[in-house]
Amino acid sequence: MVRLGSIQKLSASLLQRARVGKVVKKVVRSHPETGEKQELCIFKQHYNGSFLLAPTEFFAPPTKEDKKRDKRNASAWRNEHQSLTGEISYTPIPVQWFNL
């Protein structure tokens, strides 16, 4: 189970390696063709502060080694408590998300 505000590891083919970050928002969206509901998370990466949108099945708890390898970049997290205003739509795989 992925909790809001938790530190998680995201494993996906679009990333060179698994990345550690924080789950900043959770939403439930329906698949446009089947109508099946799926829980999605907005994930803020530790190393550069960029956002990714991914289904919960791509997340796992990070190990101490994962956290040590992927430390939080203080300058990228300066605006940690910004509001999230961009549109969140359904996606079956992790994708880059822009908070517009």
Tell me the helix, strand and coil percentages in the chain, rounded to 5. Answer: 10, 35, 55
The per-residue pLDDT for 16 is 76
- Cα dist. 24→27, 82, 84 in Å? 10, 10, 9
* Residue 7 clears pLDDT 90, i.e. is over it: yes
The per-residue pLDDT for 12 is 76
Please state the domain extents for the chain: 7-97
pLDDT tens profile 31-88: 889 999 999 999 999 888 889 999 999 999 999 999 999 888 888 777 766 778 888 8
Pick from 59, 63, 45: nearest CA to 2 = 59
Kindly state the tokens that stand for 81: 């408590």
Tally of CB atoms within 10 A around 45: 20
